[in-house]
Amino acid sequence: MPIQFTCPFCGVQTNVADQYAGQTGPCGKCGQQITIPGTPVGPGAYTAAPPRRSSGVGVLVAIIVGVLFMVLICGGILAALLLPAVQAAREAARRAQCTNNLRQIALALQSYHDANGQFPPAYVADAQGKPLYSWRVLILPYLEQLPAYQQFKLDEPWDSPANQAATNMAWSGVFQCPSDSRQDRTKTDYVMVVGPGCISDGPTSGNIARINDGTSNTILVVEVANSDIHWAEPRDLDAKTMSYQINDPNGQSCISSNHHGGANVAFADGSVRYLSDGADPATVRKLIQTNDGAPDPATIP
C-alpha cells in the first residue's frame, strides 16, 4: 500500500511504495535528504515467520503403527484359532502312518506264515531256553530288509557284540509309531501279546488253522506307546500281567498309544483297527485269545 508523506523542507506531498518505508534519500522537489516514514521492509529486515503447518508425517506414522498393531493382533488370533486344526491334521497323518506300519507288519507276519506254515514265535531261544532275539528280527526278510537280516548272528543274543551293528540300526520307519517323539529310534511301539492261548506263548507259536475264533477276530500285534523295548529285544506284552483297558490311566502295562482316544491293533487277517479307550476290557481279552469265543468285530468300540 503506497505511503503518503510531506517533505519537511519544501512542503511537497509525495506517494511512494511501501517498500521504501524507513529509507532515506533526496526529496524530488528540493533535493534535501529526507526519511520515508514507516517500518523498514527488505533484505535483512525481521519479519514474523508465517504460522507453521503441522506436518502429516507424524499422523501417517501413527496410522501405519496402528495398522501393524492390528495386523499383529489379528494374526495372533488367527494363528491361535488355526493351530489346533493344524495340530489335529498332523496327528491324523501320523495316526494314518502308524496304521500303515502295522499293516506292513501284519502282512510280513502272514508272509512268514506262508513260508513256514506258522506265525513266528515271540522270541527265538537257545538250547537252554534263554531268549535270544525277537520275532521282529525274523520278519525282516518280509519287510524287504533281507540284507539287515543276513547281518544277524542267529545263534547269538540280540545284544551280543557280533549283533551290535545290526541291532543299532534304527527301524523307526516300520517298528516305531510316527507319534513317538523320542530321539532313540531303535525303540519299538509295536509288540505281540504273549501268553497261553495267544498267537504265541513265547518260544512257540500257532498257525491260522488253530485260530478257531477267525483271523478277523484275533489280534496279532498291538501298540504300546513309548515302550522301552528295543526292536530286536525278545520282550513283548505279557498277557498274564497286562491290563486289558486301552490306555489304562493307572499306568499299568497295556495296549496304548500316543494317539487320542485309543490305539491301533493289527489282526491275523492283515487288517488294522482302532480300539477306543472305551472298549470293554473283557472283549479285548477275548480278541487276544485264539479260541475264546471272540465277539462280532462290529461290536468293538
Per-residue model confidence as pLDDT tens digits over 38-90: 665 554 444 444 445 555 667 777 788 777 777 777 666 755 665 556 656 78
> Which position has the grid cell 538250547?
127
pLDDT (0 to 100) of residue 48: 44
Domain ranges for the chain: 3-35, 83-299
Q: Are 268 and 256 in contact (CB under 8 A)?
A: no
All cell numbers assigned to 26: 533526496
Handedness of CA 60, 61, 64, 69 (dihedral sign): negative
| Spatial distance between the Cα atoms of 157 and 154, rounded to a whole number of angstroms | 8
| pLDDT at 3 > cutoff 80 | no
pLDDT digits (tens, 9 = 90+) for 152-181: 999 999 999 999 988 987 665 799 999 998
| Spatial distance between the Cα atoms of 135 and 184, rounded to a whole number of angstroms | 20
Indicate yes or no: pTM above 0.95: no
104 versus 80: the higher-pLDDT residue is 104
pLDDT digits (tens, 9 = 90+) for 30-48: 767 777 776 655 544 444 4
pLDDT digits (tens, 9 = 90+) for 190-214: 999 999 999 999 999 999 998 999 9
